[in-house]
């Protein structure tokens, strides 16, 4: 139980995939102008991350490892992630047209989000991970991504109406803000030791 | 050699399984029509008046689902725009200016000339014309949406579109100015 809690805290705060490991920066910068779209993308990413972590763990344990072909990890994980995203898109379109309208453009984008592949590969590297811990790690990575994306979008909405010096307007002040947030999250490093 | 073979076979099998899943999903979760357009259509007033620039409410609902503006429906008015904005999670916009400026029109049947052919009754989308075969017809003013669909079918051209006079019952407060024009400093910033 403590191990599960530690994995949660580690993936959400201490080893936050965006601000500490610097994965998935393009959706972080690109989809953080409005807080509504940020929430939409967060939900979709968390969902896909959890599913992708499960599926890639199963592929790793029951296909790649027994056949001793772990060098095919990257390509098979990409395949699995693409299928998961496409399948999710189809199911959402059928079951909830409104959710599909909100998430629609983001779902295919998630395929190229490096956090998804990053979590799958990191899970595969940890030999002591079970199915439950791998899934939880994916879910926590999604939560961490959601947390920083929504926080960052809220900051950027404030910055958009603030009196920023001409040369810092737009992406420049966004980068600086992201850097400051990253500094703040680095401060969590002393919180726990795994 | 055996390792290459097993690698190729495993990847092939993986691709086949994934393809099968997606193929199954494509059949199982096929979406008939456009569910968004149907929900939008249910909110439109179904007057089929064509004032939005489309031939009817269903074509307009399909256009909205494809991204057209939601403020082109004068018969629906503010209430419809509000409901559409809630459904689609977009901003409420005032009724399209070109349409909004026109005074509210109602159909008027010159009753002495009416031959009682019932053609206008069949054309009326909101059932605002009263009458029977070989009897004089007349328009219920409070029901008429001013869509002028009854003018075309009339064989003796006895239907006029007349502006509705403002009365104590139909008078409304004028809408306030949009926020950008209300405050003097905002106006300066916009200019």
Please give the CATH architecture assigned to the domain spanning B35-99.
Answer: Orthogonal Bundle (1.10)
Residue that has been written with the tokens 């961490």 in this structure: A144
Q: Which of B14, B26, B36 sits opposite A90 (nearest CB)?
A: B26
CA A105/CA B116 separation, integer angstroms: 56
Cβ–Cβ of A83/B21 closer than 8 Å?
A: yes
DSSP labels, chain A: -HHHHHHHHIIIIIT-TTTTT--SHHHHHHT-SSHHHHHHHHHHHHHHHHHHHHHHHHHIIIIITTTT-GGGHHHHHHHHHHHHHHHHHHHHHHH-HHHHHHHTTHHHHHTT-HHHHHHHHHHHH-TT--HHHHHHHHHHHHHHHHHHHHHHHHHHHHHHTS---GGGTTHHHHHHHHHHHHHHHHGGGGS---
Which backbone phi and psi does B109 adopt, to 5 degrees?
A: -95, 120
Residue segments in chain A with a per-residue pLDDT below the cut of 70: 102-105, 192-194
- Please name which of B153, B155, B159 lies closest in space to residue B123, comparing C-alpha atoms: B153
- B5 CB-contact burial (10 Å; exposed 0-12 / middle 13-18 / buried 19+): exposed
Q: B108 to each of A145, B132, B137, how far by Cα in Å?
A: 63, 17, 10
Longest CA–CA span in chain B (Å) reads 99
Which pLDDT value is given to residue B102? 57
Residue A96 distance to chain B (closest CA, Å): 9
CA A115/CA A146 separation, integer angstroms: 12
Residue B29 distance to chain A (closest CA, Å): 6
Residue that has been written with the tokens 């005074």 in this structure: B103
Supply the CATH classification number for the domain B103-166: 3.30.70.20
Pairing of strands B138-139, B105-109: unpaired
ipTM: 0.70
Which pLDDT value is given to residue B2? 82
**Chain A residues inside the 8 Å CB shell of B14:** 59, 63, 76, 79-80
Residue segments in chain B with a per-residue pLDDT below the cut of 50: 99-101
Q: Which of B7, B11, B25 sits opposite A90 (nearest CB)?
A: B25
CA B189/CA B90 separation, integer angstroms: 25
Contacts of residue B102, defined as CB under 8 A and 6 or more positions apart, other chains included, come to: B74
**Residue B15 touches partner A, C-beta closer than 8 Å:** yes
CA B101/CA A10 separation, integer angstroms: 60
Q: Which of B15, B31, B39 sits opposite A94 (nearest CB)?
A: B31
Cβ–Cβ of A90/B89 closer than 8 Å?
A: no
Express each pLDDT in B48-104 by its tens digit. Answer: 777 787 878 888 888 888 888 888 887 777 888 888 888 887 778 777 655 444 567
CA B2/CA B9 separation, integer angstroms: 10
The domain limits of chain B are: 35-99, 103-166
Which backbone phi and psi does B42 adopt, to 5 degrees?
A: -65, -25
């Amino acid at each position: 139980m403590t191990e599960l809690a530690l994995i949660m805290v580690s993936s959400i705060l201490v080893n936050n995939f965006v601000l500490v490991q610097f994965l998935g920066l393009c959706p972080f910068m690109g989809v953080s102008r409005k807080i509504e779209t940020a929430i939409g993308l967060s939900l979709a990413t968390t969902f896909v991350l959890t599913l992708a972590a499960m599926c890639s763990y199963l592929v790793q344990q029951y296909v790649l490892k027994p056949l001793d072909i772990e060098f095919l990890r990257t390509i098979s994980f990409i395949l699995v992630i693409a299928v998961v995203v496409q399948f999710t898109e189809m199911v959402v379109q059928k079951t909830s047209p409104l959710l599909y309208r909100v998430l629609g453009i983001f779902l295919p984008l998630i395929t190229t989000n490096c956090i998804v592949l990053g979590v799958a590969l990191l899970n595969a590297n940890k030999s002591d991970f079970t199915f439950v811990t791998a899934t939880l790690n994916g879910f926590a990575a999604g939560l961490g991504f959601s947390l920083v994306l929504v926080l960052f979008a809220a900051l950027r909405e404030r910055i958009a109406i603030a009196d920023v010096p001409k040369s810092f307007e737009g992406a420049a002040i966004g980068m600086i803000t992201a850097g400051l947030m990253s500094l703040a999250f680095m401060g969590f490093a002393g919180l726990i030791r795994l | 050699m055996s390792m290459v073979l097993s690698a190729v076979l495993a990847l092939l099998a993986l691709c086949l399984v994934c393809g099968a899943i997606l193929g199954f999903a494509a059949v199982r979760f096929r979406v008939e029509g456009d569910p968004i357009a149907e929900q939008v259509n249910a909110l439109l007033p179904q007057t089929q008046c064509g004032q939005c620039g489309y031939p009817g409410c269903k074509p307009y609902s399909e256009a909205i689902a494809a991204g057209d503006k939601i403020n082109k429906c004068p018969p629906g008015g503010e209430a419809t725009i509000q409901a559409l904005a809630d459904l689609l999670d977009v901003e409420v916009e005032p009724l399209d200016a070109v349409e909004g400026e026109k005074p509210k029109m109602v159909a008027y049947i010159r009753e002495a000339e009416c031959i009682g052919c019932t053609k206008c009754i069949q054309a009326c989308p909101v059932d605002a014309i009263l009458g029977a075969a070989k009897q004089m017809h007349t328009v219920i003013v409070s029901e008429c949406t001013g869509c002028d669909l009854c003018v075309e079918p009339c064989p003796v051209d006895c239907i006029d579109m007349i502006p509705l006079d403002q009365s104590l019952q139909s008078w409304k407060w004028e809408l306030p100015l949009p926020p950008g024009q209300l405050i003097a400093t905002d106006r300066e910033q916009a200019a």
